[in-house]
Amino acid sequence: MTRILLLGGTTEASRLARALAESGSDAIFSYAGRTGAPVAQPLPMRIGGFGGVAGLIDYLRRERITHLIDATHPFAAQMSRNTIAACAETGVPLIALERQAWVAGQGDDWRVVPDVEAAVAALPGTPARVFLATGKQGLEPFAAKPQHHYLLRLVDPPEAPLPLPQTSVVIARGPFEAGADADLMRAHGITHIVAKNAGGAGAEAKMHAARALGLPVVLIDRPALPPRRVVGSVEEVLGWLAHTGTERGV
């Protein structure tokens, strides 16, 4: 019997959840629990961490999971590393559903950096107005450049005081649209954008808006992960499920 654990938190995961529900699959959808009101799913849901690799191994065994699908965000590297380790230990087949990274086109002014610290260093010394489009995690390092005004777009209102002295906060959940993002950047007098190379159409709006406005983007590259099976579409995951037996499952 196939029993799937789907790790979510992305548009692609929600799309896959719909396909699994429509096909009557026995699947559990897992959220980290980072947002106040996660998008409802047409599958049984669980919310919260597993407790590291050991906790995930326990969960896979206890729930008799036969297939693990990692459809977390490309920057959710800890969770993805844990899936690789837990599946190696238990023999549960693993597949990652991951969107393609964005590639610079004509008119883009990107400075690609390896991590958040390098993004801070890439911002100018003179005061700027920065659209810090990286979510609520990883804001602290930008306190090293307090001379800038930071525009933040967050899913939930911040619960604690922000670590940055000059901010504007917009509460919104994607997908976004390029025209509206350009209006937002104009309204806030944005001069620089900091983004993660998340990939995907909904988050790409700000990149199109930056191009249209001729604004420089400091783009944080994806974290490197150990080798694993990765596909880019829901259909490929469904094909893998159909052709990957359960005999190696726990």
Ligand X SMILES: NC(=O)c1ccc[n+]([C@@H]2O[C@H](COP(=O)([O-])OP(=O)(O)OC[C@H]3O[C@@H](n4cnc5c(N)ncnc54)[C@H](OP(=O)(O)O)[C@@H]3O)[C@@H](O)[C@H]2O)c1
Binding site for ligand X (CB under 6 A): 7-10, 30-32, 34, 49-52, 55-56, 72-73, 75-79, 82, 135, 196
If the CB atoms of residues 28 and 162 are measured against ligand X, the closer one turns out to be 28
Least Cβ distance, residue 6 to ligand X (angstroms): 9
Contacts of 187 (CB under 8 A, 6+ apart): none
Among all residues, whose Cβ is closest to ligand X? 49
Closest approach, Cβ 96 to ligand X, in A, equals 11
Least Cβ distance, residue 28 to ligand X (angstroms): 10
Q: Is 95 helix (H, G, I), strand (E, B) or coil?
A: strand
In sequence order, which ranges of 67-115 are alpha helices (DSSP H)? 77-90
Tokens 């900091």 sit on residue: 194
79 vs 212, beta carbon nearer ligand X: 79
196 forms beta bridges with 220
Q: How far apart are CA 196 and CA 162, in angstroms?
A: 20
**133 or 164: CB nearest ligand X:** 133
Query: 153 or 191: whose CB is closer to ligand X?
Result: 153
- Using alpha carbons, list the distances in angstroms from residue 43 to 29, 76, 173, 245: 6, 22, 22, 22
- Our CB check for ligand X shows the closer of 167 and 223 to be 223
- Between CA 145 and CA 122 the distance in angstroms is 11
Task: Give min distance, CB of 74 to ligand X, in A.
Answer: 8
Minimum distance from CB of 41 to ligand X (Å)?
A: 11
| Residue 100 to residue 78: CA distance in whole angstroms | 19
Which residues lie closer than 8 Å to 233 by C-beta, 6 or more apart? 97
